[in-house]
Amino acid sequence: MKKPSEMPGTTIIGTGSCLPSRVVLNKEIATRLGLEEVYIYRVSGIRARHWASEADECSVLGEQAARQALEQAGLHAGEIDTILCSTTSPEMGAFPSTASLLQRRLGVRGASAFDFSASCSGFLYGLSMADSLIRSGQSERCLVVAAEIKSRYLDSSDRATSMLFGDGAGAAVLSKSQDSHIGILRIRVFADGRHAHLVRIPAGGSREPMSADTIKEKRHTLRLEGASLFRVAIKQLAPALQELLAMNHLTIDDVDHVMFHQANSRILAKLASRLNIPTHCLFSVIEQTGNTSSASLPITLDVANRQGRLKPGQLILLGTIGGGLTWGGALIRWSG
C-alpha cells in the first residue's frame, strides 16, 4: 500500500491572465451616474476596470490567459487532456461551448472541452472538477479557464452594477503530482438555490426568451441585490472557510496568502475581520480590475504568482461566493 505522501495529487504548474486594453476609470462611471468619483471608490474599493471592445470575444481573452499559463507550465496546448471553461457570458449563447471555441483557437484536437456556470465561484468549481479528473486517472493535465465579458450585460444607468463589473480572463494548468502534500490539498464547493434571486439576468433563457419587451425593460441585464447578497456572503463563506481549515487541522495562522473573489472591498474587509486574517496575508487586485466574476480569482492568483509573492511550500487559501447562490474554498500548498 502506498504511503500518504506517495499518493498522487494535483498541482498548479502554470497560471495566466488577460485584461482588455480599454481601461474605464471611475470618472467615466461617475459622470454617467451623476455620482462623485470618491463615492464609487468608497463603496466598492474600485478605481478602474477593463471593458471589452467590440472586437473582443470570450474565447480571445481566454486564449491569451491560457497561452500564458501553458508557457509558464512549459507545455504546448496539445499536451492538455481536458479544457474546462467557466463563463456566465458565453460567446455564442447555448452552443457551441466557449470551451470548444477556445480549443479551436489553441489548435487542440481530441481533448475534451466543456463550459460550466457557477457564476463568480466558477473557477473554484473548475479546479474541483479538474482535481477529480486527475486524481481519478481520467486526465493527466487539465486547463481551467474563466473568461468573462460582463460589460455587455450591464445597464449603464444602474448604480448597483455598472460601477462594479469588469471583463477579463484567468487560467491555470493542473497536472498530476506524485506527492499529495503538495498542490491542491482540499476543495469544498456549495450551492443554495434559495438565494438565486440575489444575482440574476432575468431574460434571455428558455423561461423568458429575448424579445422587444425584455430589451425595452432591460431584463437582459444584470440585476443585483447588494445588501442581501452581502449578508448571505458573510454568513455562508466565513464558516465554510473555517471548516475547511479545521478539516485539515490548520488555523488561519498557518496560511501565507488569502485570496477572495474580488466582489467589492466591503465584503473583502468583512471576511478578513471575521476570519482574523492578517493584513499582510490578504492579496487583492480589485482596485484596478473591478469584479470580473469567475475570472477574478484566477486573475488574482496569477498577479500574485507573477509578482513573485508565491513561494514553494507556502499555503494559499482561496474563497469565493457568487450567483446561484454558490460558494466554496480551497487550500493549496504552492509547488512553485
Q: Which of 98, 61, 94 is nearest to 83 (CA)?
A: 98
Residue whose cell numbers read 490567459? 65
Residue whose cell numbers read 474605464? 24
Looking at residue 7, its pLDDT comes to 62
Kindly write down the DSSP assignment for every residue of 78-109, as one continuous string.
GG-SEEEEE-SS-TTTTSS-HHHHHHHHHT--
Query: Is the predicted pLDDT of residue 275 greater than 90, yes or no?
Result: yes
User: What proportion of the chain, given as a percentage, has pLDDT over 90?
Assistant: 74
Tens digit of each residue's pLDDT (9 = 90 or more) over 297-327: 999 999 999 999 999 999 999 999 988 899 9
Tens digit of each residue's pLDDT (9 = 90 or more) over 219-237: 888 788 878 888 888 899 9
The DSSP symbol for 62 reads H
Exactly one of 142, 261, 264, 281 is catalytic; which is it?
261
CA distances for 223 relative to 196, 255, 256, 301, angstroms: 11, 35, 35, 27
Omega cis (within 30) before 312: no
CA angle centred on 56, ends 54 and 59, rounded to 5°: 145
Whether 18 is catalytic is no
Query: Is the predicted pLDDT of residue 189 greater than 70, yes or no?
Result: yes
Q: Pick the residue with more confidence: 92 or 75?
A: 75
Q: Rounded to whole angstroms, how far apart are CA atoms 292 and 24?
A: 13
Whether 291 is catalytic is yes
Residues of the chain with CATH 3.40.47.10: 4-180, 184-333
pLDDT band at 14 (very low <50, low <70, confident <90, very high): very high
CA angle centred on 207, ends 202 and 212, rounded to 5°: 65
Q: Rounded to whole angstroms, how far apart are CA atoms 291 and 163?
A: 9
Exactly one of 85, 120, 142, 281 is catalytic; which is it?
120
Exactly one of 58, 220, 281, 291 is catalytic; which is it?
291
Provide φ and ψ at 243, rounded to 5°.
-65, -40
Whether 264 is catalytic is no
Q: What is the mean pLDDT of the chain?
A: 92
CATH superfamily of 4-180: Thiolase/Chalcone synthase (3.40.47.10)
Tens digit of each residue's pLDDT (9 = 90 or more) over 27-75: 999 999 999 999 999 999 999 999 999 889 999 999 999 999 999 999 9
* Fold (topology level) of 184-333: Peroxisomal Thiolase; Chain A, domain 1 (3.40.47)
Query: Is the predicted pLDDT of residue 240 greater than 60, yes or no?
Result: yes
Kindly write down the DSSP assignment for every residue of 192-254, as one continuous string.
-GGGGGGEE--SSSSSS---HHHHHTTTTS-EE-HHHHHHHHHHHHHHHHHHHHHHTT--GGG
- The residues, ordered by sequence, that sit 6+ positions from 176 with a Cβ below 8 Å of its Cβ are 8, 9, 10, 11, 134, 140, 141
Q: Rounded to whole angstroms, how far apart are CA atoms 317 and 336?
A: 16
Query: Is the predicted pLDDT of residue 266 greater than 70, yes or no?
Result: yes
Residue 37 · residue 27 · CB < 8 Å = yes
DSSP H helices, the chain, are 26-33, 37-44, 58-73, 98-106, 122-135, 159-162, 212-216, 226-247, 265-275, 286-289, 296-306
Q: Rounded to whole angstroms, how far apart are CA atoms 29 and 36?
A: 9
- Cell output for 163: 460601477
